[in-house]
Copies of this chain bind each other. A is one copy, B any other.
Amino acid sequence: MVEITISEIASLAGVSVATVSRVLNDSSTVSERTKQKVLSIMEEYNYAPNLLGRHLRTQKTRLILVILTTISNYFCNRVVAGIDEEARKNGYQTLICMTNDNAQIESSYIDMLKNGLADGAIIMSSIMSKEDMHTLANRYSVVQCSEYVDTDSPYVTIDNEQAAYDAVDYLIKSGRRRIAYCGVRNHMISSKVRFDGYIRALRENGIEPDWSIIFDGDYGFRSAYRLTEEHIKNGAKFDGLFSISDRMASGAVSAIHSQGLNVPDDVAVVGFDNTDAAYMTNPPLTTVSQPRRELGVEAMKSLLARFEGEIPENKVLKHELIIRNSTN
């Protein structure tokens, strides 16, 4: 596993390392003849330049970290694809860091940024405090994407409050009055403001929130299933349900059916994110769709701007309510 180096290539080709380096970097000032000779030696010896040397010299790695909680997620898949697409266009490579919301793991990846191993990071979820994020984003090239913890550092997202409002307002406008909420109580801003949007939609339509039909679990199917089942068994009445994730909405639908009720006739259900869970559910879920690929592309564009020394403007992209048969 010991590799051939630039200086060995140089002597084999009978030129200086400087010339080999020029060939490597496509510098025009090298004659076609020497260039070909060097290239053929490289070929023959299977030369792969050691990037550690280059990186140390240039103090750049052209590597981007994408930091997120978990990869088991159709949503972030498309966002990352957008990031990677835009990154490659500009000569960068993307590396995904999965933190599982573990502080130690997360900071080990953040350290990679601090230690010069990557030129920048796009943070899709973090358990950092607002202050830590602020300090970090001040010193390093960081953009928050989709989820964010500090509003004073660059971010790209949708208007989660308005999106939730739109979903709930749609339920009300289509005749529902008792609308349950199935969410997650955690550190995420999106969880929080989606709840705010739910409350605002109720109030603006003259409905007082009823805490007995507001439940919190984790993002999972089973959690939502159990919560919904339990509430119905305990006599909770609702004719609509808004959930902050498709998976939870899907769990709710299953639970509703298991209790002999029908979706959408008895309960109309709206999910969030337009993931595959939305159309795997029967009936397929009405859901809020985020412009996933675009979120990634725009986040990467912001990061590139940051590299140029600019302070990128925050971006709020358009969401969309996708109507399917879980509502009518």
Number of residues from A at the complex interface, CB < 8 A: 57
Contact with B along A86-106 (1 / 0, CB 8 A): 001000011111101000010
On whether the beta carbons of A48 and B254 are closer than 8 Å, the reply is: no
* Chain B residue contacts of A59, Cβ below 8 A: 52
Cβ contact within 8 Å between A254 and B276: no
**Minimum Cβ distance to chain B for residue A306 (Å):** 10
Q: Does A114 contact B (CB under 8 A)?
A: yes
Q: Give min CB distance, A128 to chain B, whole Å.
A: 16
Q: Chain A interface mostly helix, strand, loop or mixed?
A: helix
Q: Are B115 and A50 in contact (CB under 8 A)?
A: yes
Surface stretch bound by B, among A31-39, A77-85, A146-154, A193-201: A77-85
User: CB-CB < 8 A to A48: which residues of B?
Assistant: 111, 114-116
* A205 contacts chain B at the CB level, 8 A cutoff: no
Query: Which residues of B are found within 8 Å of A140, using beta-carbon distances?
Result: 1
**Does A308 have its Cβ within 8 Å of any Cβ on chain B?**
no
* A80 with B98, Cβ < 8 A, contacts A93-B108, A254-B282 known: yes
**CB-CB nearest in chain B for A120:** B1
Q: Is A188 an interface residue (CB 8 A)?
A: no
A53 at the interface (CB under 8 A from B): yes
A1-29 CB mask vs B (1 if < 8 Å, else 0) is: 10100000000000000000000000000
Least Cβ–Cβ distance between A140 and chain B, in angstroms:
7
- In whole angstroms, what is the CA distance A49 to B277 when docked? 44
B139→A1 contact, CB < 8 A: yes
Q: State which of A67-75, A155-163, A169-177, A297-305 sits at the interface with chain B.
A: A67-75
**What are 12 A-B interface contacts by the 8 Å CB criterion?**
A52-B56, A52-B59, A55-B56, A56-B56, A71-B76, A80-B98, A84-B98, A95-B95, A220-B276, A222-B279, A247-B280, A280-B281
- Apart from A52-B117, A55-B56, A94-B98, 9 more pairs, CB < 8 Å: A3-B116, A53-B56, A56-B56, A71-B72, A72-B77, A72-B276, A84-B105, A247-B280, A254-B280
Q: B-contacting residues of A (Cβ < 8 Å)?
A: 1, 3, 48-53, 55-56, 59, 61, 70-74, 76-78, 80-81, 84, 88, 93-98, 100, 105, 108-109, 111-112, 114-117, 139-141, 220-222, 247, 250-251, 254, 257, 276-277, 279-282
